[in-house]
C-alpha cells in the first residue's frame, strides 16, 4: 500500500505544475500529512488520497492569492481537501436566488447621520450560546435562526438556553433541510409551531447530511417562543455596495446580536484577522451562508464585525470571524434580522 501510494504521488508530482522542485514537493506533502493528522482525515483508497492531495495543492495556490489582498489571513483549514464546489454544496445552504426577503418591520429605516462608534460584544453580556457545528449539512440557515432566537429570548428576561436547530431542519417543510433554506421562513415555522424545543430534548442529528424525519413539529412544552421577526435595516437585493452598516451597528449596540446572511465562499480558507471587501464582496446574489453577528468594534483604524459561525471552534478564530465594517464585507448588511419575543 505504501509503495503504491508513493508511486502515485510521484506520478502526480510529475504531472502537476504547482511544486517544481523536490524541496517544494516535500514541503507541501509534509503540510498535507500534518493536515490529515490534525483533522483526522482518513481516505478509503490510494486514488482518493492522491485526489485529495491534488485538491490540497490547488487550494494552497488559492490561499496564496487570497493573502495578497486585504487584512484577513488565510491558511490551511479543515476544508483544504475539498474543491470550492464541494465546499459550497456541503456547507453553504442559504439560497437567495430562490426567494427574496419577505416584507417585515424595519427597525432603522433611515440612514444614520454618524459613523458607528464604540464597541459591543454580546458574548461578554451572556447573550450568546457556545459555538455549534452544523457539520456536513447545509443547515446554516436553521442554526442562524436558532441562535438569534436564543439571544432575543435571553434579552427578553429569560434564561439563556441552547435551542434545537434540528427541529427546524427536520420539521420546517417550507425549507429544504440539509439542502438549504432561509432564516425568515425558519422564523415563520417556529412561530406557527408554537416555539422551539431545547437542543438537549431534540439534539442535532443531521451532521452526516441527512435531513431526518420530524419527531415532533409542535412541542408540547416549548422552551422558547417568538411572535415575529424584523430587519435591523432595509434589505438589499442588488450589488449592495451602500448598505447602512452604521445604523445596523447602532441597532446592535442598543438591542441585540443579529442574524445575518453572507457570501462565505472565501471563508473556506479563513484563519484569522479582519476579512475585507476585496477578499469577500457584498452582492446579494452571492449570499450562501447564514450566521450571527454578535458584536462590533469601531475603536481602531479598521472597524469590524464579530461574527459567530457554525463550523465548530476548530475553524477561524475559535469559531468566529471578523469582517470589515463600513464596506458591507461579504454582504453582511444585506439581510440582518432579529426576532420578537
Residues taking part in catalysis: 140, 289, 309
Residue 231, classified by CB atoms within 10 Å of its CB into exposed (0-12), middle (13-18) or buried (19+), is buried
Q: In the block, which residue shows the cell 421577526?
A: 229
Give the residue carrying C-alpha cell 441552547. Answer: 162
303: which strand partners?
Answer: none
Helices (H), 213-329: 245-254
Long-range Cβ pairs for the range 280-283 (8 Å, 24+): 280/72, 280/323, 280/329, 280/330, 281/330, 281/331, 282/239, 282/240, 282/241, 282/243, 282/327, 282/328, 282/329, 282/330, 282/331, 282/333, 282/334, 283/238, 283/239, 283/240, 283/331
Cross-strand partners of 305? 296, 323
Query: Within its chain, how far is the Cα of 299 from the centroid?
Result: 25
Q: Which residues of 142-181 are buried (b: 16+ CB within 10 A; e: fewer)?
A: bbbbbbbbbbbbbbeeeeeebbbbbbbbbbbeebbbbebb
How many Å apart are CA 296 and CA 258, to the nearest integer? 11
- Residue 130, burial from CB neighbour count under 10 angstroms (0-12, 13-18, 19+): exposed
Distance CA 93, CA 90 (A): 8
Q: Which H helix or E strand runs over 65?
A: helix 46-66
Amino acid at each position: 500500500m505504501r509503495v503504491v501510494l508513493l508511486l502515485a504521488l510521484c506520478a502526480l508530482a510529475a504531472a502537476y505544475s504547482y511544486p517544481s522542485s523536490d524541496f517544494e514537493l516535500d514541503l507541501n506533502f509534509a503540510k498535507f500529512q500534518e493536515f490529515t493528522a490534525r483533522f483526522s482525515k482518513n481516505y478509503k483508497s490510494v486514488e482518493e488520497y492522491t485526489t485529495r492531495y491534488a485538491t490540497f495543492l490547488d487550494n494552497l495556490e488559492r490561499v496564496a492569492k487570497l493573502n495578497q489582498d486585504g487584512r484577513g489571513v488565510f491558511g490551511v483549514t479543515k476544508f483544504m481537501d475539498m474543491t470550492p464546489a464541494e465546499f459550497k454544496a456541503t456547507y453553504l445552504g442559504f439560497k437567495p436566488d430562490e426567494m427574496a426577503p419577505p416584507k417585515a418591520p424595519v427597525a432603522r429605516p433611515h440612514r444614520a447621520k454618524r459613523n458607528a462608534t464604540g464597541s459591543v460584544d454580546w458574548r461578554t453580556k451572556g447573550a450568546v450560546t457556545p459555538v455549534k457545528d452544523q457539520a456536513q449539512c447545509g443547515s446554516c440557515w436553521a442554526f442562524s435562526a436558532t441562535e438569534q432566537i436564543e439571544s432575543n429570548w435571553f434579552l427578553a428576561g429569560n434564561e439563556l438556553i441552547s435551542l434545537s436547530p434540528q427541529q427546524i431542519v427536520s420539521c420546517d417543510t417550507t425549507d429544504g433541510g440539509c439542502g438549504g433554506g432561509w432564516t425568515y421562513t425558519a422564523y415563520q415555522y417556529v412561530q406557527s409551531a408554537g416555539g422551539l424545543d431545547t437542543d438537549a430534548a431534540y439534539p442535532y442529528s443531521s451532521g452526516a447530511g441527512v435531513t431526518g424525519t420530524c419527531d415532533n413539529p409542535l412541542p408540547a412544552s416549548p422552551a422558547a417562543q417568538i411572535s415575529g421577526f424584523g430587519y435591523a435595516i432595509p434589505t438589499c437585493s442588488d450589488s449592495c455596495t451602500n448598505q447602512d452598516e452604521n445604523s445596523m451597528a447602532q441597532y446592535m449596540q442598543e438591542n441585540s446580536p443579529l442574524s445575518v446572511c453572507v457570501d462565505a465562499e472565501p471563508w473556506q480558507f479563513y484563519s484569522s484577522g479582519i476579512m475585507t471587501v476585496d477578499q469577500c464582496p457584498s452582492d446579494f446574489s452571492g449570499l450562501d451562508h447564514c450566521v450571527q453577528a454578535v458584536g462590533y468594534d469601531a475603536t481602531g483604524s479598521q472597524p469590524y464585525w464579530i461574527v459567530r459561525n457554525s463550523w465548530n471552534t476548530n475553524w477561524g478564530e475559535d469559531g468566529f470571524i471578523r469582517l470589515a465594517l463600513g464596506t458591507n464585507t461579504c454582504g453582511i448588511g444585506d439581510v440582518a434580522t432579529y426576532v420578537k419575543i
